[in-house]
Structure 1
Amino acid sequence: MKYGRYEIIKELGRGAMGVVYQAHDPRIDRPVALKVLRPDRVTTEDFVQRFLKEARAIGRLSHANIVTVYDVGQDHETIYIAMEFLEGRPLNEVVREKPLAVKDVINIGLQVAKALDYAHARGIIHRDIKPSNVILDDRGRIKITDFGIARIEDPEVTRQTQAGEILGTPVYMSPEQVMGKTVDGRSDLYSLGIILYELTTGRRPFSGKNIAVIFRAIIQDIPPEPQTADGNLSPGFASLIMKSLAKEPEKRFQSGRQMADELKVCLERKNNVDVPQSGRPEKKGRLLWIGVILLMLAVGGGGFYYFKSRQPMQDQPPIEPPSVEQTTMETPAGNAPAASVSVPLPAEDSAKSEIPEVEIQDKAVAGGEKTTTPGLSTGPEKQSTDKKKEVLALLKIDSVPTSAQVFINDAFKGKTPANLTLPLGKYEVLVTLRGYYEWEAGIDLDHPGETPLYVRLVAEE
């Protein structure tokens, strides 16, 4: 099999954007990593031209810690990127075998920060810094992969093509990224801080069973200060990590160079000498409202009236906040009208915060029903004494990936794709698949006939 002049040797992995192969370039006689975009990504000629233009710009990056892009091309309807083939392993695989020494963690952070500073100075934002995108070789040198791919994606194309997707990996996303705000290089530095926290402590600062729990924690929780198992982490390095995780970008490092300079000091003081740092994020402050944070596409004539976390937030009592309506994604052509979603949000502090408005797509419908207490009914309301015939609805559930388990009101109903005949009423829908975050929502089947529901599950990192 070939794409352009590149001969495919074997598949290396799959991701949200496409498939990565080990290939051979016969013109120069060298191995390359060939990333082939999924066909459903190539939707319009405008997207193709934007992609090629941005990929060429990324190809001009030349840094020792950034994977080199050799070529970008198109073979009929297939777009591919030829990149440097690396001999090494991603960080997430390395740390599975054994924890890294603090000195090695600082050194990795220093290299990543320098690479990010170089790219940011040239207007390129990564947007998906995570352990699997950082390759470590046997000499301790790192290379950042997939650089700029997330930036290449056009927001308009994203809204039109893929339901319930976001740019980034949930547990490594910055608060501004979660809330759909414009991001800059400080968002990448936040993600680097998450990596340093995880490599140092062996756990992530924010985690959860589903996306809503993770996003809520990212927006409003302050994680415990990092510490190693032996309790000997330098206070200076711990403070550096906490500064990089500040909720407000203005309180973080303002450039990769700033962060690299302080990491270099920590590396030089590797004997746990405390170095004064420039502050940590305050534990007090207003709670930020979660705007549109659902990683889902719920389409159909029924109205989604809440999105429930199946796991309470740590160290916080249950709250019953107000709900904010969210518009849903575009339905496939010919299907029933789109539904509306409302999300339970954290209670507001005395300092009022404006709810961020994030448009997920351009064909949403306004409306939907506000509820402050998500209640469920097991079917339609009682009919009058004349015993009218029960009215039914057809709920058609599909997912990507398929073969996910479907539960209605905690009762197993089969695997996707599934066609379920239900009486009119409100139901709790849960879609689960091993290796992916759970998807859960309340749906109101308020009209007879067909209601399609399309769910895109998000893989756990």
Structure 2
Amino acid sequence: MKYGRYEIVKELGRGTMGVVYQAHDPQIDRMVALKVLRSDRVVSQDFVLRFLREAKAIGRISHPNIVTVYDVGQDHDTIYIAMEYLEGRPLNAVIKGKTLPVDEAVALCVQVAEALGYAHGRGITHRDIKPSNIILTPDNRIKLTDFGIARIEDPDAAQQTQAGDILGTPVYMAPEQVMGQKADGRTDLYALGVIAYEMVVGKRPFGGGNIAAIFRSITHEPPEDPMKNGNFGNRALADLILKSLSKDPAGRFQTGDAMAAALNRCLDAASHPFAETAAPQEKAGSSKRIGPALVLLGLFLAAGIVGYSLFLKPADDSGIADPAAVPVASSILDVTSSPDGAQVFIDSTFKGTTPVDIPLAPGSYEVRLNLPDYYEWEARIQIGEEGPTPLQVRLVSIN
């Protein structure tokens, strides 16, 4: 099979937006990664714009730690992006079930911070920094991928995302993303702080049994000091991570270059002590600001306008076990919508129209609702082991 001049070799992965193939470019005899938008997404202008935005975002930047875009085209009634084919493993596979030595973790984070600093300096905020979007090549060089929900500083950017969408992967989202506020470069650096914590401690700083609990932890709970973990003993890096995880963006590193420089100092903390201590405890005034934000978050969840769309979303990044590992459906997803009558798809399988109760095994699922004349709604949600999980979705009229 071919898309344009590109000859498909094999499938590499698939997600809610499309499929990634390894393909051969006969014109210059090289392998490429070909991202092909799913045919059922082509009918959605929002997905088409988001897909093309990825090509525009990384097509205009050139950095050794950011994947290169070669070409964009249309064939078989869909759209494709030809990108650099990377040999290596995603970081989530590298760190799964283990921690990394401090020097290795810092070296990787420095590369990510420098790449983000470069992108931010050119008006691009990634907004979905997570381990599966960081590829580690055999020579230990990282490559940032998947700019599908990047925010580009241009006049049309505000029109390319439906109002109310919260984009990103829950466990790596900053408080301002959770609350539907504007994301900027400091949002990406927050996500890098979460990844650094995960690499050296062996777990994520925030979590919970469902998406609401994860969001509540991110917006309200302080992260545990990495030094409380018995296997980690670098005070300078611990302070740097805590600074990165400040609830207030002003308390974090303001640029990728500043964070990279501080990371480098952590490698020799004895002779170059970390001058910037962790962000202080939130003051009473900050707690007062978080309170109304949690109320707003609750309204978002109740209204069903919490959505995040990722090109590839491995279950490992959701913080939820693979549903295939639990063969017995022991929980109920109670789906309602306003208005009623929306078609409900679970992992692309039709399950009925709202209101509907769907038996599911505990785990992570892609949920999508369709109703004529309304914007499509989708999210990846977690189903717990006990009791029903209510999902109330308010669909937004296209008109």
2:385 alignment partner in structure 1:
none
The superposition leaves residues 46-67 of structure 1 with CA deviations (integer Å, 9 ceiling, x where unpaired) of 8756754662342121111111
Counterparts in 2 of 1:195 and 1:272: CA distance versus 1, 3 Å: farther
Deviation at 1:419, TM superposition (A): 7.9
**Letter of the 2:274 counterpart:** V
Letter in 1 for 2:162: R
Give matches, 1:70-81, under 5 Å. 70-75=70-75, 77-81=77-81
CA 31–296 in structure 1, closer or farther in 2 if over 3 Å, else same: farther
Match of 2:267 in 1: 267
Distance 1:236 1:75, change over 3 A: same
Whole-Å Cα distance in 2 between the matches of residues 176 and 24 of structure 1? 41
Alignment of structure 1 residues 293-442 onto 2, 5 Å: 294=300, 338=339, 398-401=344-347, 416-417=351-352, 432-436=360-364
In the alignment, the residues of structure 2 paired with residue 200 and residue 38 of structure 1 have an alpha-carbon distance, to the nearest angstrom, of 37
Superposition RMSD on alpha carbons, in Å? Answer: 3.5
Residues 1:458 and 2:380 aligned together: yes
Deviation at 1:277, TM superposition (A): 1.9
Cα distance 1:239–1:175, how it changes in 2: closer, same or farther (>3 A)? same
CA distance in 1, matches of 2:301, 2:39: 22
**What TM-score comes out, normalization by structure 1 length?**
0.64
Shift of 1:3: 1.2
The higher radius of gyration belongs to 1
**Would the aligned equivalents of 1:88 and 1:135 in 2 still touch at CA under 8 Å?**
yes
Offset at residue 95 of structure 1 (A): 1.2
Structure holding more helix per residue: 2
Q: Structure with the greater relative contact order (CA < 8 A, sep ≥ 6): 1 or 2?
A: 2
Is the 2:125–2:188 Cα contact (8 Å) retained in structure 1?
yes
What is the one-letter code of the residue matched to 2:380?
V
Q: Which runs of 5+ in 1 are unaligned?
A: 300-328, 332-336, 340-394, 405-415, 422-428, 440-453
1:15 equivalent in structure 2:
15
Q: How does 1:81-160 map to 2 (within 5 A)?
A: 81-96=81-96, 98-147=98-147, 149-151=149-151, 158-159=161-162
Provide the residue aligned with 1:168 in structure 2: 168
* Equivalent residues of 1:103, 1:267 under 8 A apart: yes
> Any gaps of 5 or more consecutive residues in structure 2?
306-334, 368-375, 383-399
- The CA deviation string for residues 201-240 of structure 1, in whole angstroms up to 9 with x for no partner, is 1111111121111111111110111137544421111010
Whole-Å separation in 2 of the counterparts to 1:420 and 1:174:
32
Contact 1:6/1:25 (<8 A) preserved: yes
Counterpart CA distance in 2 for 1:157 and 1:61 is 20
- The percent of aligned pairs where both chains have the same amino acid is 53
Q: In structure 2, the residue corresponding to 1:21 is in which secondary structure?
A: strand
The ranges of structure 1 where at least 4 consecutive aligned residues each deviate by more than 6 angstroms after the TM superposition are 152-155, 418-421
Aligned residue type for 1:250: A
The CA deviation string for residues 351-408 of structure 1, in whole angstroms up to 9 with x for no partner, is xxxxxxxxxxxxxxxxxxxxxxxxxxxxxxxxxxxxxxxxxxxx8872332569xxxx
TM-score by length of structure 2 reads: 0.73
Cα distance change on mapping 1:419 and 1:11 into 2, 3 Å:
same
